[in-house]
């Protein structure tokens, strides 16, 4: 019997998710023994034609990492959706937007003018910007279109499963590939990780107080950290209570607070709102000026609470930026 | 919706013990206030999950009003203080996301302050009328016009609940 075919692809991502596949180390041999990898541009020489020439649903599963920002990424996501029986959003960016989705705090125009004109290190007197089509001396060059907003994979195509994390851990990848090969798949739409908060598996859990009393929020680079005490009890913003477990509490184990890359559990729609709620309600302050003083300890609330989840959040995008985009569309 | 037909739509979360009772009093006293408010009764203003506020806005509300007991009067001792802290931070998040902080409002209104319910609602409706429609669903739809039609059908947030605890599936 022919081996199942699988594919890997990357969109708006850093490459860390691809590295996570390589981090399977010698276990990757077991994977390649069981399946044929027929598309993996980052690791081997494949072309788009290798996919377009396949019949629909020829691939058993495709793992796509990265958010969707450009027209090319959208096109590849649609192509791979058509060719795959299971499409798996691999990693925080594909699942929730990830770090690239923080760009949704700003309009497309603000981003382009900063990157190509206003940033202090840019020298661009002719104000050249990337164009979808450029005619030069009889030749035509094309580039993908830079879209208005960053999207999660499931805002562009239907997604069957989600592997969370920045990046997903080898243990979860192995479990997912195993479940796929054995046909032991959970209901469609499931996030392939435990459905409990990170605190459940944190080695510091026993030191987490019943009630927290924040009098200030501290930032990890400014205070010495106790390696054993619950980080929330030390006054740090640790996203553990609002974040799905499954990583084995890697960051708290390395004396750093959780930043939330596994996204919310299934009971939560908006991870940032939930963390904001949990954290601020445990403050001591009772008067507005006092409250404001403590809140100033979190100078970038969107970047803190929505570090990996802005595109998948309830608001998705800066409203003013969305309005600018809709005017352009008219 | 055409601009000239637009009327503010405001979702109000009122605590059962104080502000909701005050709204009842306003009704019994036949006080007239703007009809732009949809009141949702909760046991405590502390029950207002910031997700409720964001979801109201994401689904088309132009503003959100939260009403609770005066500080020190909370039936559950501390609920309204929790709300105050969350509200102050939520305003910061909304500001960073381009939404005027005037669109959400927290008010302490005791059970006897029917007149204050009327005043606060009328004032908020007028302020939001000046700000104009928020229309988040419309703005996001316009943003998504750049996608193909099949993707637009997926635009609404997906609520996906797995059937059971998955630890067995993942680790077993």
pLDDT in tens, B55-101: 999 999 999 999 999 999 999 999 999 999 999 999 999 999 999 99
Give yes or no for a contact between A291 and A216, defined as CB atoms under 8 angstroms apart. Answer: no
What is the total count of domains within chain B? Answer: 1
| In a shared domain, residues A234 and A272 | yes
Chain B nearest-CA distance from A301, in A, is: 6
A317 touching B (Cβ < 8 Å): yes
Judge whether A237 lies within some domain.
yes
| In a shared domain, residues A132 and A206 | no
Q: Which residues lie across from B104 on neighbouring strands? A: B64
pLDDT score recorded for residue B143: 87
| In a shared domain, residues A161 and A141 | no
| In a shared domain, residues A122 and A249 | no
* Residues sharing a CB contact under 8 Å with residue A89, sequence separation 6 or more, in sequence order: A64, A65, A95, A152, A153, A154, A159, A161, A162, A163
Name the token pair of A292.
């404001």
| In a shared domain, residues A214 and A289 | yes
Cβ contacts of A161 on chain B, cutoff 8 Å:
none
| In a shared domain, residues A78 and A207 | no
- Reference B104, options B141, B44, B138, B63; nearest CA is B63
Give yes or no for a contact between B101 and B95, defined as CB atoms under 8 angstroms apart. Answer: yes
Residue A251 is classified by DSSP as H
Judge whether A86 lies within some domain.
yes
CA angle B57/B151/A130 to nearest 5° reads 95
Judge whether B51 lies within some domain.
yes
Cβ contacts of B98 on chain A, cutoff 8 Å:
318-323
Q: For A14-65, what is each residue's pLDDT tens digit?
A: 999 999 998 888 888 888 899 999 999 999 898 999 999 999 999 999 999 9
Give yes or no for a contact between B10 and B63, defined as CB atoms under 8 angstroms apart. Answer: yes
Structural domain harbouring B128? 8-134
Structural domain harbouring A112? 108-147
Answer whether B54 sits within 8 Å of A315, measured CB to CB: yes
Judge whether B162 lies within some domain.
no
Answer whether A154 sits within 8 Å of B158, measured CB to CB: yes
Residue B138 is classified by DSSP as H
* pTM summary value: 0.91
| In a shared domain, residues A156 and A68 | yes
| In a shared domain, residues A164 and A293 | no
- For testing contact with chain A, the best of B45, B74, B78, B89 (most A CBs within 10 A): B89
For residues B71 and A327, the model is more confident at B71
Q: What is the CATH number of the domain that holds B56?
A: 3.40.50
Q: Which residue has the tokens 């859990």?
A: A205
Across the interface, of B146, B157, B161, the residue whose CB is closest to A266 is: B161
| In a shared domain, residues A140 and A165 | no
pLDDT score recorded for residue B160: 43
Q: Is B41 exposed, middle or buried, given 0-12, 13-18 or 19+ CB atoms closer than 10 A? A: middle
Q: Angle at which helices B79-96 and B50-58 pack, to 10 degrees? A: 40
CA angle A93/A95/A100 to nearest 5° reads 20
| In a shared domain, residues A64 and A177 | yes
Q: Which residue has the tokens 């969305």?
A: A322
**Percent helix / strand / coil, chain A, rounded to 5:** 35, 15, 45
Judge whether A228 lies within some domain.
yes
Q: For A276-312, what is each residue's pLDDT tens digit?
A: 999 999 999 999 999 999 999 999 999 999 999 999 9
pLDDT score recorded for residue B162: 41
Judge whether B115 lies within some domain.
yes
Please say if the pLDDT value at position B159 is more than 50.
no
What is the total count of domains within chain A? Answer: 3
| In a shared domain, residues A125 and A154 | no
Judge whether B13 lies within some domain.
yes
Judge whether B110 lies within some domain.
yes
Judge whether B34 lies within some domain.
yes
Give yes or no for a contact between B11 and B65, defined as CB atoms under 8 angstroms apart. Answer: yes
**What is the C-alpha separation between A149 and A110, in angstroms, rounded?**
12
Q: Which of residues 94-153 of B touch A (CB under 8 A)?
A: 96-99, 134, 136, 138-140, 142-148, 151
Cβ contacts of A274 on chain B, cutoff 8 Å:
49-51
Chain B nearest-CA distance from A137, in A, is: 31
Q: What is the ipTM of this complex?
A: 0.93
- Reference A213, options A285, A130, A146; nearest CA is A285
Judge whether A275 lies within some domain.
yes
Judge whether B161 lies within some domain.
no
**What is the C-alpha separation between B39 and B23, in angstroms, rounded?**
9
Judge whether B3 lies within some domain.
no
Q: Which residue has the tokens 């969707």?
A: A68
Q: Angle at which helices B114-131 and B19-28 pack, to 10 degrees? A: 100
**What is the C-alpha separation between B50 and B64, in angstroms, rounded?**
11
Answer whether A154 sits within 8 Å of B86, measured CB to CB: no
SS3 B30: coil
- For testing contact with chain A, the best of B71, B101, B151 (most A CBs within 10 A): B151
Q: What is the CATH number of the domain that holds A173?
A: 3.40.50.700
CB count, 10 Å around CB of B157? 17
A152 touching B (Cβ < 8 Å): no
Backbone angles phi, psi at A171, to 5 degrees: -60, -45
DSSP string, A68-89: EEEHHHHHHHHHHHHHEEEEEE
Q: For A222-235, what is each residue's pLDDT tens digit?
A: 999 999 999 999 99
Give yes or no for a contact between A151 and B142, defined as CB atoms under 8 angstroms apart. Answer: no
| In a shared domain, residues A125 and A270 | no
């Amino acid at each position: 019997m022919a081996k199942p075919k699988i594919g890997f692809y990357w969109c708006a991502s850093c490459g860390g998710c691809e590295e996570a596949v390589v981090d399977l180390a010698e276990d990757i041999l077991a994977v390649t023994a069981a399946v044929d990898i027929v598309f993996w541009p980052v690791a081997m020489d494949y072309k788009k034609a290798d996919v377009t020439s396949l019949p629909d649903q020829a691939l058993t599963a495709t793992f796509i990492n990265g958010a969707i920002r450009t027209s090319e990424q959208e096109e590849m996501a649609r192509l791979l959706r058509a060719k795959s029986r299971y499409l798996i959003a691999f990693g925080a960016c594909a699942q929730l937007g990830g770090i690239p989705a923080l760009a949704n705090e700003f309009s497309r125009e603000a981003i382009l003018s900063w990157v190509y004109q206003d940033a202090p290190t840019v020298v661009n007197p002719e104000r050249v910007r990337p164009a979808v089509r450029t005619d030069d001396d009889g030749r035509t060059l094309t580039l993908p279109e830079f879209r208005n907003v960053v999207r999660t994979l499931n805002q562009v195509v239907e997604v069957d499963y989600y592997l969370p994390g920045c990046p997903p851990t080898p243990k979860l990848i192995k479990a997912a590939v195993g479940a796929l090969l054995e046909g032991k798949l959970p209901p469609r739409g499931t996030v392939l990780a435990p459905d409990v908060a990170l605190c459940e598996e944190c080695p510091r859990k026993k030191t987490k107080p019943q009630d927290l009393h924040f009098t200030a929020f501290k930032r990890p680079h400014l205070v010495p950290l106790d390696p054993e005490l619950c980080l929330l009890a030390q006054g740090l913003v640790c996203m553990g209570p609002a974040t799905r477990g499954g990583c084995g509490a890697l960051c708290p184990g390395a004396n750093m607070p959780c930043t939330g890359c596994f996204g919310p559990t299934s009971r939560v729609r908006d991870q940032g709102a939930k963390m904001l709620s949990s954290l601020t309600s445990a403050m001591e302050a009772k008067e507005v000026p006092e409250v404001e003083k403590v809140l100033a300890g979190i100078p970038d609330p969107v970047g803190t609470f929505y570090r990996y989840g802005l595109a998948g959040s309830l608001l998705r995008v800066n409203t003013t930026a969305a309005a600018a985009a809709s005017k352009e569309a008219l | 919706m055409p601009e000239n037909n637009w009327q503010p739509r405001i979702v109000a979360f009122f605590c059962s013990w104080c502000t909701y009772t005050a709204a009842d009093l306003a009704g019994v006293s036949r006080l007239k206030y703007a009809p732009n408010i949809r009141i949702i009764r909760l046991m405590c203003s502390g029950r207002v999950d910031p997700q409720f506020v964001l979801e109201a806005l994401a689904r088309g509300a132009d503003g959100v009003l939260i009403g609770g007991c005066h500080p020190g009067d909370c039936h559950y001792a501390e609920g309204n203080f929790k709300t105050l802290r969350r509200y102050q931070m939520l305003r910061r998040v909304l500001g960073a996301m381009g939404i005027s902080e005037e669109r959400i409002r927290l008010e302490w209104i005791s059970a006897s302050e029917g007149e204050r319910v009327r005043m606060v609602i009328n004032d908020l409706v007028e302020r939001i009328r000046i700000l104009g429609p928020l229309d988040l669903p419309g703005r996001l739809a316009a943003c998504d016009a750049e996608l193909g039609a099949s993707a637009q059908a997926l635009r609404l947030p997906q609520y996906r609940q797995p059937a059971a605890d998955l630890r067995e599936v993942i680790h077993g």
